[in-house]
Amino acid sequence: MEVLCEFSDDFVAYKCFVNNIEISDPQQIKKFLGEHKVHRTDNDVVSMTFESCKIKTFPRNLTKFYPNLTVIELISCNLKELTKEDLKFYPKLKYLGIVNNRLTHLGSDLFEYTPNIEFIDFSCNLIHSIGPRILDPISNLKQANFSENQHINALYDADDSRFKI
């Protein structure tokens, strides 16, 4: 499968943006198409966003195309499950945003392979349970957003060192 990527550079990050497609098996992505900005290559891409796509499973092979990814977002993509095995391919991850999807549970070992995450956003899902001590493996966490979920509405901010409910 080939996926069209719209590249953008906002002086903070060089991004690949994918919008409004169905990806039944993200592991079957063979190539990202699109025209890079001047003097930019796949190695410059640090941020990947899928928005309003239909994605059944979390993409595990994005670093094959973009080896320097530190940001992954899936916004309104109907994702129902996320496990530590999905994230193990992204040890450099700094930001993970799974926003307005269909997640219901987050396991306590979710961040075992991504200890460098600084920001996580699971807002606007259907989350009703989070594994105990889920944030313990993350040493540099600055913010965790679990707001507007089915049974959980909380925001962790490192400046306060506590959850706000």
Read off the pLDDT band of 10 (50, 70, 90): confident
pLDDT > 90: what percent of the chain?
85
Above 60 in pLDDT, residue 147?
yes
Above 80 in pLDDT, residue 161?
no
Which of 151, 156, 150 minimizes the C-alpha distance to 134?
Answer: 156
Above 90 in pLDDT, residue 111?
yes
Above 70 in pLDDT, residue 164?
no
The pairing of beta strand 2-4 with beta strand 6-9? unpaired
Beta bridge partners of 145: 121, 155
- The per-residue pLDDT of the chain, averaged, comes to 94
Query: What's the rounded mean pLDDT across residues 68-91?
Result: 97
Q: Look at residue 120 in the predicted model and tell me its pLDDT.
A: 98
